Amino acid sequence: MDPIFATIRSIHAIFGREVLSVLIVAAAIYLAFTYRPNAPRSPVARIFPVLIDIQVTLGLIYWLVGIFAGVDYFLSFPFILHPLLGFATAVVAHLLIGARSPFARLGRWAAPSALGIILVLVLSNVMIAMMA
């Protein structure tokens, strides 16, 4: 295995499994306690979707390099769901944590609710990756 390919895989796996899961829970707690009506979005709410984008980009690079390297299970079921769920997680992060979130009416619980959905998507994706 190419060392760059292995490095990207390690960073993607560690960031997705350990770091991102903890950050989601920490961000949900922080945003629930620091909520103020009609306040501008906090730095956490602005930066968090970018972290998801970084993870998706790393995964996309790893996936594309793997396909061109001939890793055959990348296109098989259930692993093909892994990149699809990754993109879905990024879309959900931008929609639900954005300024005009559909959860805005939930007030203090808008961000924790959105992050709960994101956490389920991330953990589902981790399980799919571990099956491969």
- pLDDT of 41-69, one tens digit each? 888 888 989 999 999 999 999 899 888 88
Show me where the domains of the chain are located: 3-131
Is the pLDDT at 72 greater than 70? The verdict is yes
Q: What backbone phi and psi angles, to 5 degrees, belong to 12? A: -60, -45
Q: Quote the crossing angle between the two packed helices 3-14 and 43-69, to the nearest 10°.
A: 140
What average pLDDT score do residues 121-129 get?
92
- SS3 labels along 71-125: CHHHHCCCCCHHHHHHHHHHHHHHHHCCCCCCCHHHHHHHHHHHHHHHHHHHHHH
What pTM value is reported for the model?
A: 0.86
Backbone phi, then psi, for 106, in 5-degree steps?
-80, -5
For the chain, the C-alpha Rg in angstroms (whole number) is: 16
